[in-house]
Structure 1
Amino acid sequence: MLGFMDYIQRAFYDATHWNIDNSYGSLTATAQNLLDFDTPRGLRLNVSSLASPQMGTSYAVGTVGLVDGSISYLYSSLPLSKSSKSTEIQLEEVIQGYRHLQDLRTPDQSWWWERWQGGRRTDRKNTLMYGRMFLPRGTLEALYLRRISPTRQLRLSCVSDSALNNGGTVLGLVQNDHGKYCTEYLYSTDSGLCGIRGLYNFGPDPRIAAQDQESDDMREPVHGRFSAGAELYYGILNKSGGASLGLRFTTLPQHAGFPYTMTLTLNPLMGNLSSTYAVKAGRNLALCSRFNFNFYSYESDFQLGCELWRRQVPNDADIAWAKNKIRPEWIDGSASPTDDVSGVLKARVDQDWRIGLLWEGRFKEMLFTLGGLIDLKRRERIVGAIGVEFQYSS
């Protein structure tokens, strides 16, 4: 489940029309949501508040070993209208499950962002700033996010910790999203790492104006999107580099059957090959598998995962969905407020019979995450870490 500050950052992306899915870093986001979910350890409580549309605070305390916690503050130059109360937040917006990718949107024109008053430009570039201190260690982390233009974004991430080399590290990332393709340039002070990565989407170009294309009546609807990407990086100080390639095919809202996503990634230097397949097998059920193989060592591993949503709707709604395969209001996100989610169960298992379980939902006025790990091969201690996390926000 997304933390409160991550939820507010998503609200900032939405308000500034930034597509977080159109990037090489999110190529395998669907499989990661279904297979790589974190299970809480011990008891943790998060209390947060959006005191104004531009200011947010969050406090967390946990009981893993010694009592630990964190204090967070966030500022957005753009007022955010997202609901911040834990009693009103839609669970679909904070629970990370199967990702339904939408059609690529046309980037905003530069002049749309201009504001004039008395013959002078008064508009400012939208900015988000976030900081968190971990207690009792005193570790600091910060984020500076700035929308430079409708197609460009600057992201600076900083960490200050005495355990790190030079006492901390800074990661700078310049992101360019042109709809049809995106590019990212990064630099990290840790080993002087420089990198570039990009993603290209095959098919129609959203930048082409509608009047320059065929009419909607004559144009064949697009049911899926094929994307290809790559990344290159090199550490100046340690004189080592790396590269990876990735492919993805996903269905779009116009697809008449069950939504699914397939990915294939390759790291040629390390010899790692990974393939994933995720499908929305029902209105409330998603399944995913991942196979990893190393063609240098011939080692491999396999994982299966699923998520099962619980909704406060009559059973005949599920029957209607099965008959129609796809409900339009479910795809475009315009489901009625009464069609609410009460919780979701996630599970994963690998070839060594290590099982992860997670239940996320709402209890009274709080959001909660309950999970644990099970290792069937460790007979002396089958049940591993178990934890529960509560989130309350106002």
Structure 2
Amino acid sequence: MIVLKVVLASKDREYISAWLDFAQGGSAGSGLRFTAFSQWEPFREHMHGQGEREVPDLVIAEPELLNAWLSSGGDTSGIPWLMLSEGNDEVEEDKQLMKYQPLPSLLDAVMNACRQPRRKKAHRPGQDTLSIGVISASGGSGKTAVALHMAKQLGLAGYAVLYLNLETLDSTQPFLEKGLTRGLQRQPDAETGLSRLLYDLKVSRKETGKAVQSQSQSKGVDHYVLRHEGLKSDVFWPLSNRKELLQMSKEDTANLIQHLIQCGQYDVIILDGDSGWDGRSEGIIETADTFVWLVEDDIAAMHRWGQWIQYAERVKPNWIDSVMDRARFVVNKYRDSVVNATPRPDLHLDAVLPYIPSWRQISQEEVLLSSPIFQREVKRLCALLIQNGEEELTQTGRIHQGMGGR
């Protein structure tokens, strides 16, 4: 699996020791391999003497050491960097890493800042793209928060991920808009990407009876999507015209998903739709390879879960078995134990995701996407879906204490 290589440079040896001890002592540093230096010469030799194979995914350094490296060619290396700051340095905010803060927060910032290697994929139709639907029989179950965290954790693990939101009332924009616009000029074409793709697919079906083939599949969907660095995934800009979504049929939804799969650009597509029986929800359920089916531990949510399955058995008896075979039932907002029984004895819970009280007062996208406890459990859920729970999404890297001068 992917191990991210990080170079840490600080003249404070005790600070380096505390950082490395914490990263090496538990799962917090999973997937990271640190090389640390406390003197300029060893740091310089390491940065300028390595082959392409050893190029780090991130450099973290105090201002004196960082500026010396940048001025000697580091600024053109393409390697991401963060300045260890005490708050009085003249550098862009997103390039600062406050030196003194809780170590878990430091490591989380490191993971987010690392250059994320995306798997190279040949653009061949139908090649190994896994579609995961996040569904629920109840509104307010936390579908979107779970879907966003899954996209981020899979992106951090090195998978090429697309997050597709098909909710009638999109709830992602308050959390994604900052990441979509930060440091970018307006991109009118990308901001209408999903609308244009839906139109292109519909026109092509009318004219030829089949989905768009030539231009879209040869070039992928790059001209329709945007890269969201905070999410480590590609996304579509949320549709502004709700009528387009309301008019989407089950067939429209299935064709869209199949097209995204057949373009061969992504390892994983996360599908987030409404709770209910609209065409988009049915299209997701019929097309997705697997589901995260969210339930809450309260009597009303359990009842709605049972009612959903009972209705499906009555109106689509040949369909519900396939849905059950592909579903992983997950209790969201879990608090210590599950109090309420599942609505039927043949329904079993596969995983739980914790309740995060601080999300009730969310005012920044970083708060939603950076809970260490929630990230840990979502990572386990992703491993269950991607690898049948046999291994973690990331492998614990060997910590290399390359302490120059120590």
TM-score class, shorter-chain normalisation, is under 0.3
For normalisation by structure 2, the TM-score amounts to: 0.26
Structure with bigger helix share is: 2
Structure with bigger strand share is: 1
